[in-house]
Structure 1
Amino acid sequence: MAISSRSTHRRLAVGSFIEEYANRVDILTFDEETLSIKPDPNLSIDHPYPPTKLMFHPSPKFSNDILASSGDFLRLYSVRDTSIEPISVLNNSKSSEFCAPLTSFDWNDLEPRRIGTSSIDTTCTIWDVEKGAVETQLIAHDKEVHDIAWGEAGVFASVSADGSVRVFDLRDKEHSTIIYESPQPDTPLLRLAWNKQDLRYMATILMDSNKIVILDIRSPTLPVAELERHRGCVNAIAWAPVSFQHICSGGDDSQALIWELPTVAGLNGIDPMSMYTAGSEINQVQWSAAMPDWIGIAFANKMQLLKV
């Protein structure tokens, strides 16, 4: 699921998750006055395999929205009022038309020509999407890379099945900094979210765990806080776009929780400040930058917008 960063278009993109080749991406329109979400049959497109992530261009300068998806390849689409058209398919495999599946990607807010992708082949690839060319490819981890997030223009972080969070600076591609490792060796880290309002903080989640781990990159290895009020595995996390202290999480307990982080580090036993119970396990959470009062959640075959 993705929410457009364009304030004039209240657009959302949702992708199917069917474990076969034929999947779909649909563009929906949200009307804030009537509180209705409308699909448009013209804005629906076939997608090979389930998209592992969807994301709109972070700072659109064009009359149309640009949407990116990851799966077998990185794909870009142009979304107009009456149509959705493929722009490009980016494949970084030199040796064949096949490539290792992409687990996720992140679009660079500060340099929107850059998209970083993460892959099961242990690499992260930085694309110049305007040129349709690879800027650099790094062997990032010892096992599959599950997620990637940009901090600054040339700095990104990634999480992996090897249980580590690593930070990379494109000015020094030979080195990375490990800022966290799973307490139990080789417990995979699944998702990573970098706080855009305060780049000192990031959050990650562990496989089969009810914890959200909050990290401060100034004090590696020791979490600032561990949020442990979910009664099932956490599946998704999203920082508030306008407040550095708030983060939303969704999990297998069907709950979406909003947390307010303390200004003092090391305080665990934090309770969420608000909660919502969905109809089943929540697998996706998006906090809209263009509409900061709204959080999108996805569960089963439904998508809902929650007013904060």
Structure 2
Amino acid sequence: MHPTPTKEIYQYDAPWSIYALDWCKTPIEQKSFRLAIGSFIEDSNNKLQVISRTDLLDNVPSSRSDFTAIAEADSYYPITKVLWEPRKADARNSDLLATTGDILRIWELVDDPRYGSTNSITTRNSNHMKQSDFCAPLTSFDWNETDPSLIVTSSIDTTCTVWNVETNQAKTQLIAHDSDVYDVAFMHGSADTFASVGADGSVRLFDLRSLEHSTILYETQPTPNTNNRMHNSVPLLRLQFSRMNSNLLATFHMDSSAVQILDIRYPSAPVAELSKSHSGSINCLSWSPNESGQIATGGDDSQVLVWNINQPDNNNRNYYANQPRYNHQPPRVIQDPLLAYVADAEVNSLTWSKSCPDWIGVGFGKTIQALRV
């Protein structure tokens, strides 16, 4: 028997600054409290590391540390994103992870038979996926939960590429934006639909069955400069589809303290905006895996806020996912989060655990914290 969590916060201090972060999706108790982390070091000595809650490990001496690093691998460039594979039904004794940076890599984590702290993590079959000898840096990616053979990547060269990770081949590549693409995400429950955001300030929706067309869901407005001439649109940095309502996605502007909630059925304007609670720029967000309408945000003000987009706004308006809506209706402004936590530094990454939905992983500086919510 392994102990159930008795603490509200578990902490891990890494030897380097952390940027990429994801929570293991395996529901088995021993594995469910694992996180993958990626370093952000400016030189060519970056790391991919897997950590596990120490009290869930066998054959590991008791330690004052909440987490123990159970595997580590070298990565030449900083890791822009890491994801564990979507959970499959097979019972193999290894887990796959994917990372982006210079290229897309698939890693295999093989459990030590003693389930100790000496697990191995290696690139699967030297599995490096790139289009050509020259490959523009990859900013982000997403792993399709409906069809786990598919990964979509985004790049600073304006493109998104859909990969088949079983054949190690690119399935399709498309010019997604007018400039750098900063993030990309599959719609939950769909093997075909994904959206992207980028430096051109737009959210674009694509369908693999009809790539000759795309839908612009939202565009930021050009801003006037000091000479009263219109500047370029404000870039959009991140997006994520709701895990409970696939029509909804969240995004935020660069240097902004607000989050826009979009409904793909009503393009052009947000249905809700989360604002006036962060006092600095937002850096990351993560939807709840089991509570409809709940989303966590983290920012430069060191805050982690948990919101409920279904609560009434200041004008006492509710959002119902199935109610009719007019495109010109102004967004509901939500200013009061459900929960607030203040970290010791700017929050750069968040991951809300699917296998342990009462826990959110938070990355700031060289520290990872698991927070019970």
Shorter-chain TM band: over 0.9
Q: Is 1:98 matched up with 2:134?
A: yes
* C-alpha distance after superposition, 1:197-233 (max 9, x if no partner): 1011000011011011111111111111111111000
Greater mean deviation of Cα atoms: 224-233 or 113-122: 224-233
Larger Rg: 2
- Give the strand-richer structure, 1 or 2: 1
Contact 1:197 1:244 (C-alpha < 8 Å) held by counterparts: yes
In structure 2, the gaps of 5 or more residues are 1-20, 57-61, 112-118, 223-231, 312-317, 320-330
- Tell me the equivalent position of 2:148: 112
Equivalent position of 1:180 in the other structure: 218
Pairwise CA distance, 1:31: 5.0
Please tell me the residue identity of whatever aligns with 1:275. A
Q: 1:257 aligns with which of 305, 317, 336?
A: 305
Query: 2:236 matched to 1:189?
Result: yes
Partner of 2:39: 16
1:215-258 deviations in Å (ceiling 9; x for gaps): 11111111111111110000000000012210000000000000
Task: Quote the Cα distance in structure 2 between the aligned partners of 1:269 and 1:148.
Answer: 25
1:41-86 deviation per Cα after TM superposition (whole angstroms, max 9, x unaligned):
xx11111111000000011433211010000000011001221111
1:28 corresponds to: 51
Say if 1:12 and 1:30, in contact at 8 Å, map to a contact too: no
CA–CA distance in structure 2, aligned partners of residues 253 and 89 of structure 1 = 37
TM-score (norm 2): 0.79
Could you tell me which residue of structure 1 aligns to residue 199 of structure 2? 161
The one of 17, 24, 27 equivalent to 1:7 is 27
**Matched residue type, 1:47:** S
For 1:107 and 1:126, the matched residues in 2 are separated by 10
How far the C-alpha of 1:92 sits from its partner, in A, is 1.3
**SS at the partner of 2:174?**
strand
Tell me how large the CA RMSD over aligned residues is. Answer: 1.4
- Matching residue within 209, 212, 215 for 1:171: 209
CA–CA distance in structure 1, aligned partners of residues 184 and 22 of structure 2: 16
| Contact 2:153/2:160 (<8 A) preserved | yes
- Please say which of residues 278-287 and 84-93 is displaced more in the overlay: 84-93
**1:302 is matched by which residue type in structure 2?**
T
The one of 270, 273, 279 equivalent to 1:231 is 279
CA apart distance, 1:32: 7.0
AA at the equivalent of 1:281: E
Residues 281, 299 of structure 2: 8 Å contact kept: yes
Task: Out of 23-32 and 133-142, give the one that drifted further.
Answer: 23-32
| Structure-2 residue corresponding to 1:276 | 341
* Structure 1 segments of 4+ aligned residues over 4 angstroms from their partners: 31-35
Aligned to 1:38: 68
Q: Take 1:269 and 1:120, find their aligned partners in 2: how far apart are those partners?
A: 33
In structure 1, list runs of 5 or more residues that go unmatched.
none
Number of the residue aligned with 1:267: 332
Contact 1:124–1:140 (8 Å) recurs in 2: yes
SS of aligned partner of 1:134: strand
Structure 1 distance, partners of 2:218, 2:274, is 16
2:115 pairs with 1:85: no
Q: Is the 8 A contact 2:53 2:67 kept in 1?
A: yes
Q: Deviations over 1:92-111 (max 9, x none)?
A: 12xxx220000000000000
CA separation of 1:27 and 1:214: change in aligned 2, threshold 3 A: same
Kept after mapping to 1: 8 A contact 2:309/2:334: no
Q: Percent identity?
A: 45
Q: Distance in 2 between matches of 1:201 and 1:31?
A: 37
Q: Partner of 1:198 in structure 2?
A: 245
Instruction: Tell me by how many angstroms 1:270 deviates.
Output: 2.7
Q: Aligned pair count?
A: 303
